[in-house]
Amino acid sequence: MMFRFDFFSSLNKVLTSTRTFIRVLIILPALAESQAPPEIQLANSYHPEIKLEDYWLSEKLDGVRAYWNGEKLISKQGLVYQAPAWFTENFPDFALDGELWIARNHFDVLSGIVRKRQPVDAEWRQVTYQIFDLPKHSGVFNVRLGFLRDYFKASEGPLWLKLIEQTKVTDHQTLMTLLDEAVAQGAEGLMLHLGSSYYHNKRNNDLLKVKRYFDAEAKVIGHISGKGKYRTMLGSVLVEALNKAQKGKRFKLGSGFSDERRKHPPPVGSVITYKYFGLTNKGLPRFASFMRVREGF
């Protein structure tokens, strides 16, 4: 009996070591494609107390944030997007901050394309890289925008490398009208960028997102089966809020999912972005609905 116990104990150790070795072989290539997260500027939410005439206005694209370091496209988490060589071949050798984008309401399609370890040329032909800033430039945004405009005017770079249009607006009512028009056409919202601001790796009022709703992130901690026509699919996810104001609060999120997403729900442990319209008296998000799985891999 002792021999049998030792035999199976030894066999289990061998199998465990083998499985560990295989996991390492699988993980190492992915680790080789990661690096320190880039230092990028983050946005606060718009409030009417600011001096609008000091800001530049652009559309908030529903794309994937991508940092060009002069050699590679990198996600906010520091993972490398495996773009085809031809896609970045004629990009500049200086840093760019922007969004990989296809069109309004195409985030899921875009996300599926850029997450692949083996890029598909035909899919990447749909993608553009929309630029909104120069992370390593020492000037204020007015100067950085002028540099970008001059560069794009003189450059014969690829057609899929584009500069996001920046315009001016002077009053709150006009801004809200423009927001409603953009949203009606499928846009996610608008962005405001302070002309006198320097590029920095923090979140403040130099960069503002303008929406009719709030958004936040939460971690998926469970799946709940659906009922009726969704009885074989996802009904809702149980999530735990990650943003500072609601951190740790748990709630169910059941709206905003397409039928395809209900068949293939966000994995437990993944981080999702949801939108909501204020808070209940218990501090939970009101009318919360799923938007997307967080950028990255």
Mark whether 185 and 249 lie in a shared domain. no
94 and 120 belong to one structural domain: yes
- Residues 49 and 162 grouped into a single domain: yes
| Residue 60: active-site member | yes
Position 65 scores a pLDDT of 95
Q: Which domain holds residue 93?
A: 42-210
pTM over 0.85: no
pLDDT per residue, tens digit, the chain (297 aa), is 443 434 444 444 444 444 434 333 333 344 446 778 899 999 999 988 899 999 999 999 999 999 999 999 999 989 999 999 999 999 999 999 999 999 998 988 999 999 999 999 999 999 999 999 999 999 999 999 999 999 999 988 899 999 999 999 999 999 999 999 998 998 989 999 999 999 998 888 999 999 988 888 999 999 999 998 888 999 999 999 998 778 889 999 999 999 999 999 999 999 999 988 878 878 888 889 999 998 654
Burial 244-268 (b: 16+ CB within 10 A, else e): eebeebebebbeebeeebbeebbee
pLDDT of 23 reads 39
Where is the domain boundary, 161, 177, 210?
A: 210
Q: Is residue 225 located within the same domain as residue 265?
A: yes
Percentage of the chain lying above the pLDDT 70 cut: 88
Per-residue pLDDT, 66: 97
Please report whether residue 193 resides in a domain: yes
Strand, helix or coil for residue 65: strand
Shared-domain flag, residues 187 and 50:
yes
Q: Are 182 and 189 in contact (CB under 8 A)?
A: yes
DSSP states along 148-163 = HHHHHHH----TTEEE
The verdict on 182 and 250 lying in the same domain is no
**H-type alpha helices, 36-119:** 85-88, 107-114
Catalytic residue among 60, 211, 227, 263: 60
Q: Which of 194, 210, 226 is the last residue of a domain?
A: 210
- Give the model's pLDDT for residue 135: 96
Specify the number of domains making up the chain: 2
pLDDT digits (tens, 9 = 90+) for 281-296: 788 888 899 999 986 5
| CATH number for the domain that contains residue 63 | 3.30.470.30
137 and 221 within one domain = no
- Residue 68: C-alpha distances to residues 82, 229, 239 (Å): 12, 44, 32
Integer angstrom CA distances of residue 253 from 107, 261, 273: 20, 13, 11
What angle is formed at CA 148 by the lines to CA 145 and CA 153, rounded to 5 degrees?
Answer: 125
pLDDT of residue 104: 93
Residue range 62-115, pLDDT digits in tens: 999 999 999 999 999 899 999 999 999 999 999 999 999 999 989 889 999 999
